[in-house]
Amino acid sequence: MRVLAAMSGGVDSAVAAARAVEAGHDVVGVHLALSRAGGTLRAGSRGCCTIEDAMDARRAADRLGIPFYVWDFSERFRDDVVEDFVAEYRAGRTPNPCMRCNERIKFAALLERALELGFDAVCTGHYAVVRTGPTGLELHRASDAAKDQSYVLGVLTAAQLAHTLFPLGDTPSKALVRAEAEARGLAVAQKPDSHDICFIPDGDTRGWLADRVGTAPGDIVDRTGAVVGSHEGAHAFTVGQRRGLNLGVPAPDGRPRFVLEVRPVTNTVVVGAKEELATAEIAGARFSWTGAVPDAGRFACEVQIRAHAEPVRALARWDGTQVVVVPASPLDGVAPGQTAVLYDGTRVIGQFTVDRTVSAVPV
């Protein structure tokens, strides 16, 4: 089988490519250049897709004896991920750029080009498992719960699963992957994992957004509408945030307050007690199904609202136009723009972008 190995320059993708070679596939390595800033440098564990990462990927490919190319996806990454990120924050939502990157770059643009060039599959270093179930291919959680990445892969479709390989999915731990890389003589064996948003390597999301969205003074209010503070731009806040509020009026009970809502139209941030973050229902019209499409109507599931959050038992319903999920116990601080991934045990059912939330605490 002809396999295109997406090589980020990290240890996971290098070992995944090595396993694909060892399995007897005809493997070609490719690194995606996602920024036109050719001098972009890596800062410890922050950022990815830098010039150092491209060099590390090339060295790994050389060690494996496979052809290697760098493909420039910077324009599409800018349009589909970076600009989407800015637009979502401008609209008062909290996006997940990793979901958009997987959806629109790694498993859309990359896979489309791979198939056009005659490859049978794309191989990545993600920790997830593709299995054949009663109704076809299914996406499942990885064996290593600590490294499981099925959440950020919830955007994949059945057609994409048919052309995707995740060689690391059944590996019990990341330590074993690093040991294998060491044994194979891969220089990235002890390279730190990347964290944070790759196109904001210094981690200053608030400053980065301010440069692109601008600043505009506004009010911070409680749920009654009383002004309790001010801010320089609603885009700098997200639901559940506690730090950086700089409130001028303390809460009557003296307890900390959290962001409950961001209202971009009025440039207002609403705050309240932690228990007011409890969410009784979420819904969204931007959804996709991973594998078999569930029948319209109601179905039991588990819902996960962040990459490393605990899944919560829930009842979902969809009518072909939107998905509505009612958790068995309230979710904590869900923001519009977040991604909700639905599971049946270890199997990913699908995902949707949260458009609407219903508080479990009456106003």
- How far apart (Å, rounded) are the C-alpha atoms in residues 77 and 185? 32
What is the number of structural domains in the chain? 3
Looking at the fold, whether 290 and 331 belong to one and the same domain comes out as yes
Q: Is residue 160 part of a domain?
A: no
Looking at the fold, whether 234 and 284 belong to one and the same domain comes out as no
| Residue 27: predicted pLDDT | 98
Q: Is residue 20 part of a domain?
A: yes
Looking at the fold, whether 225 and 296 belong to one and the same domain comes out as no
Q: Which of 49, 98, 123, 198 is catalytic?
A: 198
Looking at the fold, whether 228 and 177 belong to one and the same domain comes out as no
Contacts of 101 (CB under 8 A, 6+ apart): 77, 81
Looking at the fold, whether 106 and 11 belong to one and the same domain comes out as yes
| Residue 84: predicted pLDDT | 93
Ranges of beta strands (E only) in the chain are 2-6, 26-33, 68-72, 121-123, 128-133, 136-141, 164-165, 218-221, 227-231, 258-263, 268-272, 278-284, 286-289, 297-304, 312-318, 323-327, 331-332, 339-344, 347-353, 356-359
Looking at the fold, whether 286 and 264 belong to one and the same domain comes out as no
Full residue range of the structural domain in which residue 39 is found = 2-125+167-183
Closest CA to 198 of 49, 38, 28, 24: 49
Q: Is residue 37 part of a domain?
A: yes
| pTM, rounded to two decimals | 0.91
Q: Which of 49, 101, 123, 301 is catalytic?
A: 101
Q: Is residue 343 part of a domain?
A: yes
Backbone angles phi, psi at 287, to 5 degrees: -135, 165
Q: Is residue 341 part of a domain?
A: yes
| Residue 44: predicted pLDDT | 46
Active site residue 198: yes
Looking at the fold, whether 246 and 300 belong to one and the same domain comes out as no
- Residue that finishes a domain, picked among 230, 254, 272: 272
Looking at the fold, whether 308 and 258 belong to one and the same domain comes out as no
| Residue 49: predicted pLDDT | 65
The helix (run of H) or strand (run of E) holding residue 205 is helix 205-213
Q: Is residue 74 part of a domain?
A: yes
Looking at the fold, whether 285 and 236 belong to one and the same domain comes out as no
Q: What is the CATH number of the domain that holds 46?
A: 3.40.50.620
Looking at the fold, whether 257 and 286 belong to one and the same domain comes out as no
Whether the Cβ atoms of residue 98 and residue 59 lie closer than 8 Å to each other: no
Q: Is residue 22 part of a domain?
A: yes
- Residue that finishes a domain, picked among 272, 301, 319: 272
Looking at the fold, whether 38 and 61 belong to one and the same domain comes out as yes
Looking at the fold, whether 176 and 83 belong to one and the same domain comes out as yes
Q: What is the CATH number of the domain that holds 224?
A: 2.30.30.280
Q: What is the CATH number of the domain that holds 310?
A: 2.40.30.10
Q: Is residue 149 part of a domain?
A: no
| Residue 48: predicted pLDDT | 57
| Residue 41: predicted pLDDT | 46
> For each of the chain's 363 residues, which pLDDT tens digit applies?
999 999 999 999 999 999 999 999 999 999 999 876 544 444 444 445 678 899 999 999 999 999 999 999 999 999 999 999 999 988 888 888 988 998 899 888 999 999 999 999 999 999 999 999 998 999 999 999 999 999 999 999 999 999 999 999 999 999 999 999 999 999 999 998 876 688 887 778 888 888 888 888 999 999 999 999 999 888 888 899 998 888 888 788 888 999 999 998 899 999 999 999 999 999 999 999 998 888 888 999 999 999 889 999 999 999 989 999 999 999 999 999 999 999 999 999 999 999 999 999 876
- Residue that finishes a domain, picked among 272, 295, 310: 272
